[in-house]
Amino acid sequence: MNRHPKPPQVAGLYDPAREHDACGVGIVARLGGGPNHEVVAKAVLANEHLYHRGATGADADTGDGAGILLEIPDAFLRAEAGFDVPPAGRYGVAVVFLPRDDAARRAELERALETAVAEAGLEVVGWRAVPVDETACGRTAREALP
C-alpha cells in the first residue's frame, strides 16, 4: 500500500490548485462554446435534484443560496446599469450586499471597496441597486436580509 501517493497533476480542465471541499455540487457545461438555454434548463434540473446543497433549515420557504453561475448577460446589463459599461469581455460584475437603511455606512463601504479595487489595478465603473422582492423570501431569509 502506497501511503504517499503522487499528488494530482494538471489534466485537461482539472487543476489541483483549484481543488477545494464542496457539498452537493452539480456541473453542467457545453464544451462546444456559445450561449445555449439548454445548459440553463439542465442546470436548473440538476439544482432541483440536489437534496443537500450544504445547508438545510426548518423554513421550507427559504432556500439555501444554491444557484447557477452564468456568463455576464451583457445586453441586459447595458440596458439596466444606468452607467456606461465597457466593451463586452473587458469588465466583471461583483455582487455586494450593503446596508439599505444607513446611507452613510453604505457610502463608507462603497468607498472602501472602490479603494480595494483600485489597489488591484482595476476601476469601479458604477453601482446598480438590484430590485428586491422581499415577499419572495421565506421567513428565515427575511430575518437575515442584508
pLDDT in tens, 84-96: 999 998 999 998 9
Q: What are the residues whose beta carbons fall under 8 Å from the beta carbon of 59, sequence distance 6 or more?
A: 138, 139, 140, 141
- What integer best gives the mean pLDDT of the chain? 83
Is 137 annotated as catalytic?
no
How far is 141 from 128, CA to CA, in rounded Å?
22
What's the mean pLDDT in 6-19? Answer: 84
Burial zone of 102 (CB within 10 Å; 0-12 exposed, 13-18 middle, 19+ buried): exposed
Q: Structure pTM? A: 0.60
pLDDT over 90 at 14, yes or no: no
Predicted pLDDT of residue 93 = 92
Query: What Rg, from alpha-carbon coordinates, does the chain have?
Result: 20
How far is 30 from 40, CA to CA, in rounded Å?
10
How far is 113 from 120, CA to CA, in rounded Å?
11
Strand blocks (E) in 44-116: none
Distances in Å between the Cα of 107 and the Cα atoms of 50, 96, 100, 102 are 39, 13, 11, 9
pLDDT over 60 at 71, yes or no: yes
C-alpha grid cell, residue 118:
483600485
- Three-state SS for 74? helix
What's the mean pLDDT in 130-142? Answer: 84
Of the residues 1, 17, 22, 23, only one is catalytic, namely 23
